[in-house]
Chain A
């Protein structure tokens, strides 16, 4: 308990520090948020154009697709907002030896890295995701229950850690290979497939994003449950399982990586 309280405390301290830092560079911050909103709007425009020409996608209506798309942005946005520092690990922190800093402090290195930065740009993604879900909801006949709402929230929570887990594993490669920015990027980009119903893809991609890089569980499967109420055990249960598995593997690989960490000459 004391442990968890300390974690929250450290998180708060780092977040406050980050907010202060952003206030130092207000212009940069505002441009960042606007930029992200613009990227999301262009994505939306793209969707809208497609659906104006094709009213449904293999049996999925526009509203359903928008719901899945919006849902996918929420865990992605949360991970992006809080745990974006992993990109820096892959790109330069390890290669330049700046990782030394984390190892000399009495805080778990992974916790320190995860908590240290706040990526406010991610708010663009998050707001867009919530907006899309809210817009599509009234047009969809979904039967809601307390149980379903709770499962939905749990799904978002665990889906977030699918993103984080995958980023931790790929970022850790840097401990051996000095940099892994491109590996994180390549793997992370598969989440683009997960924004649409998995049924539209061929077997290879379907299996890839379901079992190998399981981004399908960050959006399609939990959203499918919310839309239809079908098979919560698989659709949400697997999200939880995948999330726990990836985080465990991530923590394991990370700590193995630290043993292989070579710092840099100084």
Chain B
């Protein structure tokens, strides 16, 4: 369905020295440098899959999405949907896709919502019969009826997001791009929107590419995750795989009054494991031990620790998806 091959995007950035003087200098002799925002990203998405596309702020997510939606021209590499390429024939390419940017709207701001759908019908050349059926379907899935006659500027954020998703689906696209579709929404509306996305995906086999910072979206919707960082692809697999690959790392936290616990606790020799499986950090009396639970069982670590030093307070943290991702975002993938 979607094929992304060696996608790369460089931006030219003007380097400015600080202050007014710097601004003047760059006005007359601008210094530019190349910034690589996306570096050699490849992945494929089969028909009907929901792909969670994640990464920390500034990782290049938006840049990738914008290349996939025909907004930005790749520096090199290419992406195709059903064999169509946006740099070759943008117009026929965008007919296959629907796009929602949570932070922007494509609705006609000053007019009743209904008018937007009327115009989009013409832009996408949807015939009258399909339009009627489509509106009925979208109405039912996204519950637009109560505000379809209100001017768009008066809609609440939740209503606007539903309206925007409906607008992106009017022409029955094969692929739906959702960039932060749940940003700023309350729990109930988030739930409604997730359910709608799931329903559309199930009923119409619409392929969905979803970027979000709300990991509940990912856990509830995504069949697969592609994670990028610093413009590179760092993980590609299911949520389960992410957990087994990175979820074995546990964290043992305790407070001790023993002097120099780091010297006393020799996990490396005691369990004869390597440095990649355990690390100890001390901050005053607080100690943090990060270890790989598949190399050493949690109970053994606990027992050895309690034997060796005097412990006041102890906890073992399990790695949930949020924790895994937080760690990956913070330190990158080793």
Residues of A within 8 A of B (CB): 6, 9-10, 13-14, 17, 20-21, 24-25, 97-98, 100-101, 103-108, 258-263, 265-266
B103 interfacial contact with A, CB 8 Å: yes
Q: Tell whether A263 pairs with B104 under 8 Å between CB atoms, given A100-B66, A106-B123.
A: no
- Contact present for B91 and A263 (CB under 8 Å): no
A9 to B125, CA, bound (A): 11
> Are B101 and A107 touching (Cβ within 8 A)?
no
Q: In whole angstroms, what is the CA distance A103 to B66 when docked?
A: 10
Partner of A104, one of B99, B111, B119: B99
Chain B residues with CB under 8 A of A263: 62, 66, 71-72
Evaluate contact between A262 and B72: CB separation under 8 angstroms: yes
Of all chain B residues, the one with the shortest Cβ separation from A17 is B119
Rounded to whole Å, the gap between the CB of A8 and the closest CB of chain B is 12
Which of the four size classes fits the interface of chain B? 20 to 34
- Give the residues in chain B near A101, CB-CB below 8 Å: 104, 106
Q: Out of B95, B106, B110, which one reaches A21, CB within 8 Å?
A: B110
Contact with A along B159-200 (1 / 0, CB 8 A): 000000000000000000001000000000000000000000
CB distance from A265 to the nearest CB of B (A): 7
Per-position 1/0 for B83-108, Cβ under 8 A of A: 00000001110110101010110101
**B206: interface (CB < 8 Å):** no
Cβ-closest chain A residue relative to B13 = A262
- Contacting pair A105 B123 (CB below 8 A): yes
Q: List 10 A-B contacts (CB under 8 A).
A: A6-B125, A100-B101, A103-B70, A103-B94, A105-B124, A106-B92, A262-B11, A263-B66, A265-B62, A266-B101
CA distance A97 to B103 in the complex (A): 11
With A10-B122, A21-B111 known as contacts, the answer to whether A107 contacts B91 (CB < 8 A) is yes
* Chain B residues near A98 (CB-CB < 8 A): 104
Q: Report the Cα distance A97→B101, complex, angstroms.
A: 12
B34 to chain A, nearest CB (A): 13
Asked if A103 contacts B111 (CB within 8 A), the reply is no
Is B91 in contact with A21, judged by CB distance below 8 angstroms?
no
- Cα of A14 to Cα of B151 in the assembled complex, Å: 17
For the complex, give the distance between the alpha carbons of A24 and B115 in Å.
13
The answer to whether the Cβ of B69 comes within 8 Å of any Cβ in the partner chain is yes
B305 in contact (CB, < 8 A): no
Measured in the bound complex, the distance between the Cα atoms of B119 and A10 in whole Å is: 9
Which residues of B does A touch, CB under 8 Å? 11, 62, 66, 69-73, 90-92, 94-95, 97, 99, 101, 103-104, 106, 108, 110-111, 115, 118-119, 122-125, 151, 179
User: Are A17 and B69 also in contact (CB < 8 A) when A9-B122, A104-B99, A106-B124 are?
Assistant: no
B103 contacts across to A, CB distance below 8 A: 266
Known: A25-B110, A101-B104, A101-B106. 15 other contacts (CB 8 A): A9-B122, A13-B123, A20-B115, A24-B111, A97-B104, A100-B69, A103-B69, A104-B70, A104-B94, A104-B99, A105-B94, A107-B91, A259-B73, A262-B72, A263-B71
Contacts of B11 in A (CB 8 A): 262
Instruction: Identify the closest chain B residue to A13 (Cβ).
Output: B122
A25 to B109, CA, bound (A): 13
Q: A13-B119, A106-B95, A266-B62 are in contact. Are A261 and B72 (CB under 8 A)?
A: yes
**Max count, chain B CB within 10 A of own CB: residue among A97, A258, A266:** A266
With beta carbons under 8 angstroms apart, the residue of A6, A24, A97, A266 that contacts B110 is: A24
Which residues of chain A have C-beta atoms less than 8 A from B122's C-beta? 9-10, 13
**Nearest-CB distance from A74 to chain B (Å)?**
30
Contact, CB under 8 Å: A24 / B151: yes
CA distance A92 to B122 in the complex (A): 27
Do the beta carbons of A108 and B91 come within 8 Å of each other?
yes
Which residue of B is nearest A105, CB measured?
Answer: B123
Instruction: State the CA gap A107–B99 with chains docked (Å).
Output: 15
CA separation between A25 and B66, bound complex, in Å?
34
Q: In the bound complex, how far is the Cα of B151 from the Cα of A24, in angstroms?
A: 10
Asked if residues A100 and B111 are in contact (CB atoms below 8 Å), the reply is no
Tell me how far the C-beta of A25 lies from the nearest C-beta in chain B, rounded to whole angstroms: 7
- Rounded to whole angstroms, the CA-CA distance of A157 and B119 in the bound complex is 28
CB B113 to nearest CB in A, in angstroms, measures: 13
Chain B min CB distance to A32 (Å): 15
